Amino acid sequence: MNHSYEKVICKATGADALFLIEDIQSLWSGYGKIMRYGLQGGSSERVVVKHVKLPDKAHHPRGWNTDISHQRKIHSYHVESAWYRDWSKMCDDSCRVPHCFALQAGDEEFRMVFEDLDASGFPLRKKSVSMIEMQACLRWLANFHATFIGKEPAGLWAVGTYWHLDTRPDELAALDDAELKAAAKMIDQRLNNARYQTFVHGDAKLANFCFSADGAQVAAVDFQYVGGGCGMKDVAYFIGSCLYEEDCERYETELLDYYFARLREALEQRDSAVDLDALEQEWRALYPVAWSDFHRFMKGWSPGHWKVHSYSERIAREVVAQLSSS
């Protein structure tokens, strides 16, 4: 890290000096890395730094190295910077996100300095989860969606999620499913035309939730694809990231019931004027549409992926048939 930015971090945190503890992970396609730094003096003992430096040549793990992909990633880091600068402070403990101490956004390099969630009571990352842990994430999503219901996503993606149709022409072209390809725009429009819109996290997979030691509380990270949309996009994507095929249908009703109960509570606590019955009716009906929207992306991007299974195929066929007949 250059000396001038070390000064920025020290000033933002009140520290006298900092030192590298570890590299946590590399960013997707070689676009930088996330590091943990220790601080001497100041109010915090550690911070996490996300350093994005655009590569001369990206190395996508599945070979999607195109200018469209590159421009999408660049915009995603501008969006994440805008999220932490303009919006993240609206999130309370019910939809916890890391505090951002400092931001630096340039044309080819970005730095973001965050609170270390490990040190703030969220030290665990999960590859598999219990029902209680899934509920903690769904509760986070419900409160997040309630916080931003009806707001315009200024500075963010107009339509959030990393698989949004307009940003994925290459994957649509590669999709070897004529009926789903023909219905892709209708699926997208159905979600975009929903009466009730909020902000979606846009990449609300299990790996982007940080758990408390008892698994009952979570915080979320990685806001590159936050933007406007129907909350079911996050919910369907999250459930699909946790459950194998046989459990997706088994627990669908239970998980949706839990999410909507928490969403109602969150909106009531915020004195929202939203018609709760109308919202739930609309979004429940859009859950399979949101599931099909992500399935469209996955089937074009990586048709052999474990998430491309018979449950998703059946849901997508039903949605396509419904939209085609309406």
Q: Please state, as a whole number, how many other Cβ atoms lie within 10 Å of the Cβ of residue 39.
A: 20
Residues 95 and 218 in one domain: no
CB-CB contact of 177 with 297 (8 Å):
no
pLDDT at residue 306 in the model: 86
Q: How far apart are CA 78 and CA 54, in angstroms?
A: 13
Confidence of residue 62 (pLDDT cuts 50, 70, 90): very low
For the record, the structure tokens of 51 come out as 């350093």
Residues 84 and 170 in one domain: no
Q: What digits encode the pLDDT tens for the residues 168-186?
A: 999 999 999 999 999 999 9
Residues 111 and 155 in one domain: no
Angle value at C-alpha 250, between 247 and 255, nearest 5 degrees: 95
What does pLDDT average to over the chain? 93
67, 84, 115 — which closes off a domain?
115
CB-CB contact of 220 with 140 (8 Å):
yes
Q: Report the CATH number that the domain containing residue 61 is assigned in CATH.
A: 3.30.200.20
Confidence of residue 64 (pLDDT cuts 50, 70, 90): very low
Give the phi and the psi of residue 33 in degrees, each rounded to 5: -155, 165
Residues 249 and 197 in one domain: yes
Mean pLDDT of 151-156: 98
Q: Which residues contact 212 (CB under 8 A, 6 or more apart)?
A: 121, 122, 123, 124, 218
Confidence of residue 105 (pLDDT cuts 50, 70, 90): confident
For the record, the structure tokens of 187 come out as 């699926």
Residues 169 and 111 in one domain: no
DSSP 189-233: HHHHT-S--EEE-S---GGGEEE-TTSS-EEE---TT-EEE-THH
Residues 98 and 163 in one domain: no
Residues 176 and 262 in one domain: yes
Closest CA to 188 of 227, 160, 217: 160
Closest CA to 95 of 34, 163, 148: 148
Closest CA to 297 of 47, 64, 99: 64
Residues 160 and 218 in one domain: yes
pLDDT at residue 61 in the model: 46
Mean pLDDT of 269-292: 97
Domain boundaries, position 96: 3-115
Mean pLDDT of 85-114: 93
For the record, the structure tokens of 116 come out as 């270390």
115, 131, 146 — which closes off a domain?
115
50, 80, 115 — which closes off a domain?
115
Confidence of residue 65 (pLDDT cuts 50, 70, 90): low
pLDDT at residue 30 in the model: 78
pLDDT at residue 68 in the model: 86
State the DSSP code for 98. Answer: P
Is residue 9 over pLDDT 80?
A: yes
Q: What digits encode the pLDDT tens for the residues 188-241?
A: 999 999 999 999 999 999 999 999 999 999 999 999 999 999 999 999 999 999
Q: Please state, as a whole number, how many other Cβ atoms lie within 10 Å of the Cβ of residue 232.
A: 25
Closest CA to 290 of 198, 209, 215: 198
pLDDT at residue 240 in the model: 95
Is residue 60 over pLDDT 80?
A: no
CB-CB contact of 101 with 12 (8 Å):
yes
CB-CB contact of 259 with 141 (8 Å):
yes
Domain count, the chain: 2
Residues 195 and 71 in one domain: no
Biggest distance spanned by C-alpha atoms of the chain: 66
Q: Report the CATH number that the domain containing residue 284 is assigned in CATH.
A: 3.90.1200.10
Residues 46 and 103 in one domain: yes
State the DSSP code for 27. Answer: P
Considering the entire predicted model, what is its pTM? Answer: 0.94
Residues 161 and 293 in one domain: yes
pLDDT at residue 300 in the model: 96
Mean pLDDT of 240-250: 93
Residues 105 and 86 in one domain: yes
pLDDT at residue 29 in the model: 72
CB-CB contact of 138 with 235 (8 Å):
yes
Is residue 51 over pLDDT 70?
A: yes
